[in-house]
Structures are given as structure tokens and as C-alpha cells.
Amino acid sequence: MRKICVLGLLLLGAAIARPPALPPLNNNGYPERIQYVVKDYINKEVGFVTANISVETVTAQGRKYLHLESLEGRYFRNSVTLDYMSFQTVAEERHDIWGRSAKLLESYQQLPDGKVRFFHEAKNINLTADNPGNVYSRYAFLVSLSGFPFEQKDKIVMNVYMFEYGNVLPLRAVYQGKEKVQAPAGEFECYKLELAVDGVLGLFAPDKYYLYYTVAAPHHFVRFYQKVDDGSWLANELIKVSF
């Protein structure tokens, strides 16, 4: 997503006092443990790889979380900890594992003082800011957007830290109805979501993405459809799921 320079609007929005927003996504019976194998597009040089993704319930200091570990072929490892009930991101790390040692590329963490820290190595971002609330990692959309209120609401808005922008962006997910989807794992009846930057900022970043989750519980991931740098549309698709 392209960089957006609308600092005045962001400052105005931050200056307006608002009550804490209710989480837009909720855990409606996600499995205690689930494993995915996904056909995953990296870039035009690498193409597609096989991603192995595991999600399991963990407990720390009396609270339940979901912990996601993702290996994108031999290139990247993502670790994301999610709040069990709201799927909000508590912590995230993305490592480059190509080579002899893993290199931290990006991280996000909720801090105990009500702040958050966002780091990106290549973009020289090391940001500490007030927690905007309702933050969701894009590396965990496979899990979190399964908590969309399908057939109850048409749209939700969430906050996502994007290194392309250097800060937090509001993304909207819009319910588009149901479709039959043929993936390597088989044919599924799916809910379709359209994902895009919300509000005025969306005028500067008009790209749209499409995600598909099964109508059948637990609404697991099936497909992520995106336009890549050369303008073509490619799909990350489910190869196998077990829970």
C-alpha cells in the first residue's frame, strides 16, 4: 500500500476525545488448535512458496491468548500473539530467516503503560505512541478476520500498523456476500470480505484486497486475493487445514 501524507487529518483525529471502541472482531468458537498449509505469494522474484501456519491457545498470567507461528517457505517467520476473545494483536515479530541467522524485520508490541511500540528495520521506524486501540496484525488476518460478524454487520473498521506508511492506518472490511471457492484444499462455500484503507486516507491508497472464510464454523481461511506490483491478480490459497 502506498505511503499517505495527510498529517493534518491524523493530528485532528487524534485531538478529538473518543470513548474506547468496542472490538470489531470477536472469537466465536475458534479452535483451540488449528494448522494451515497455504500457497503463499512472496514477490515476483520468489513467486509462490508453501507456508506452514500453526495457531494454538496459550495461557499467561491467568489470561488466554492465541499464538500464531508462520513459516513462509525458507524466507520469513512470523510470530503473533492475539487476545483470545477479540483477536486484537498483543505482540508481533517478523523475521527474515534466509541465511545463517534470523534477522528481525518488523515488530509490534502493546506496552503496559498504554503505549505501543512499532519497529521496522528497513524503513528505520522505531515508533512509540499511544495505543489507538483495536490493532490487528496483517500477518494474522488469516485468524482475526474469521471473527467478522458475518450476516450481522456489513462493515467493520480496525487499526493496522503498516510499514509502507510508517504508522497506523484504519482499514475497513466490508461483507460482500457468499461465493463458492475452489482451492487446492477443495471446494468451499465462503463468506467474502473486501479490505481497503478507510475514510479520506483511502483516496490516497485505493487498493482493495479480498479474503474468503468458510460459511461453516469455525469460518477458517480459504483464500486471499490481491493485486501485485505488475498489476496482475494472484491468490494465496488453502492447501490443507486440520483442527
- Residue 38: give its domain's CATH number: 2.50.20
Q: Domain for residue 12, yes or no?
A: no
Work out how many domains the chain is built from and give that number. Answer: 1
Distance separating alpha carbons of residues 2 and 204, to the nearest angstrom:
8
Which residue range(s) make up the domain with 180? 23-242
Distance separating alpha carbons of residues 135 and 60, to the nearest angstrom:
20
CA 8 to chain CA mean position, Å: 27
Q: Domain for residue 4, yes or no?
A: no
Calculate mean pLDDT across residues 34-39.
98
CB 159 within 8 A of CB 169: yes
- To which H or E segment does residue 7 belong? helix 7-15
Q: Domain for residue 173, yes or no?
A: yes
For the entire predicted model, the pTM comes to 0.89
68 pLDDT band (50/70/90 cuts)?
very high
Q: Domain for residue 167, yes or no?
A: yes
List, for residues 130-140, the tens digit of each pLDDT value: 999 999 999 99
